[in-house]
């Protein structure tokens, strides 16, 4: 049996549902990525524009001496489930992917297990490097080139049967494996549902995202105050945004993988969480992606969600927080939230 077939079979055993191979050459979309950076669409994510980061994305083979192939994989996670909790003004909303244990740890562990099997499958010592989205690689483009799916207008990879609810990962290796071909066609060619549904119109015509307007970026990566004109668009979101995925036809009737189920609720009680100390917040969200927002960022998001949803007791909680808060940017958000409540 061909080595690539054996490796893919091993990947499926580990829970990956899609798998393909590309050569470690310069991505076709690298020039478009450069232009995206130069236009400032990465917002405050300055690490994306570092010279060493750009260089690695241009030449992924440099991340592993002797690299000859890149194995691209996808690990599914459950789609967001509608809940009556969303009709209750005191409930917030957390993006579906963040309800699970931190995918960086889960995905990296599985990739390391797969990498450890390469030598036995190949019959010789094989070098490898496991990569998740913290590594400088254009992973969505790599997955597309490997035949895992298509890039939608929301910039996400859509895999047949699994939609865009996938964690992507890569395994660089010095094994020479024949590359796969991209999937033909473009199921998004005549559809603009995600573009029209985006609350802040952050989706650009070339299937990239203006992070400066993206609610996922603003509630997770952004540090400091969220622009006042975008705050009402957050609604009850306190971490991430699933809107562009929820409206996608390719995400209807998708199959679920065998990954672990949610470890936290997707609809936290806003007032309860706003009363958390930093220690209490960390105790609840440790080992989940929610930690990425930081305690201050999460409280900022909660304050905006309280103003937008107006549950009983919101003004009292915000006023109490204002009296003890010292950070200028968070104080400004608290004052804004109180003003919205009149």
Non-local CB neighbours of 270 within 8 Å, separated by 6+ positions: 90, 91, 92, 236, 238, 302, 305, 306, 309, 311, 314
State the distance between the two ends of the chain, measured CA to CA, in whole angstroms: 70
- In degrees and rounded to multiples of 5, residue 12 shows phi and psi of -65, -35
How far is 96 from 301, CA to CA, in rounded Å?
17
User: Is the CB of residue 95 less than 8 Å from the CB of residue 78?
Assistant: no
How far is 277 from 298, CA to CA, in rounded Å?
12
Nearest to 143 by CA among 112, 127, 126, 167: 167
Q: Is the dihedral of CA 220, 223, 224, 230 positive or negative?
A: negative
Residue given tokens 């592993």 in the structure block: 64
Written as six digits, the tokens of 2 are 């061909």
Q: Which of 133, 186, 196, 269 is catalytic?
A: 133
Beta-sheet pairing, 93-94 with 237-239: parallel
Nearest to 14 by CA among 111, 100, 80: 111
> Please, what's the largest Cα pairwise distance for the chain?
71
| 242 noted as active-site residue | no
Sheet containing strand 128-131, strands side by side: 18-22, 69-76, 166-173, 128-131
Q: Where are the beta strands (DSSP E) in 62-165?
A: 69-76, 93-94, 128-131, 150-151, 157-158
Residue given tokens 């669409």 in the structure block: 41
Written as six digits, the tokens of 290 are 């929610």
User: Is the CB of residue 93 less than 8 Å from the CB of residue 267?
Assistant: yes
Positions marked catalytic: 133
């Amino acid at each position: 049996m061909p080595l690539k077939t054996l490796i893919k079979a091993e990947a499926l055993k580990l829970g990956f549902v899609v798998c393909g191979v590309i050569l470690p050459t310069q991505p076709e979309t690298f020039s478009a990525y450069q232009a995206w950076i130069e236009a400032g669409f990465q917002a405050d994510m300055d690490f994306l524009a570092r010279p060493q980061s750009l260089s690695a994305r241009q030449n992924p083979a440099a991340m592993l001496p002797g690299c000859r192939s890149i194995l691209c994989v996808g690990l599914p996670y459950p789609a967001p489930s509608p809940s009556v909790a969303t009709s209750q003004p005191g409930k917030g909303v957390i993006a579906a992917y963040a309800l699970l244990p931190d995918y960086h740890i889960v995905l990296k562990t599985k990739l390391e297990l797969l990498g450890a099997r390469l030598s036995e499958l190949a019959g010789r010592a094989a070098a490898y490097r496991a990569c998740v989205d913290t590594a400088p690689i254009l992973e969505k483009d790599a997955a597309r080139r490997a035949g895992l799916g298509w890039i939608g207008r929301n910039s996400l990879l859509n895999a047949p049967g699994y939609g865009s609810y996938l964690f992507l990962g890569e395994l660089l290796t010095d094994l020479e494996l024949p590359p796969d071909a991209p999937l033909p066609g473009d199921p998004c060619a005549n559809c603009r549902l995600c573009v029209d549904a985006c609350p802040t119109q952050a989706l650009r015509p070339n299937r990239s995202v203006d992070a400066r307007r993206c609610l996922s970026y603003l509630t997770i990566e952004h540090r400091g105050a969220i622009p006042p004109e975008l705050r009402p668009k957050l609604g009850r979101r306190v971490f991430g945004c699933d809107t562009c995925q929820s409206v996608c036809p390719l995400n209807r009737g998708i199959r679920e993988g065998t990954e672990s189920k949610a470890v936290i609720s997707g609809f936290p009680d806003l007032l309860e969480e706003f009363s958390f100390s930093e220690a209490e917040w960390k105790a609840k969200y440790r080992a989940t992606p929610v930690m990425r927002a930081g305690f201050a960022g999460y409280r900022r998001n909660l304050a905006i969600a309280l103003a937008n949803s107006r549950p009983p007791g919101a003004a009292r909680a915000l006023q109490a927080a204002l009296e003890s808060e010292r950070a200028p940017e968070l104080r400004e958000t608290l004052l804004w939230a109180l003003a919205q409540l009149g």
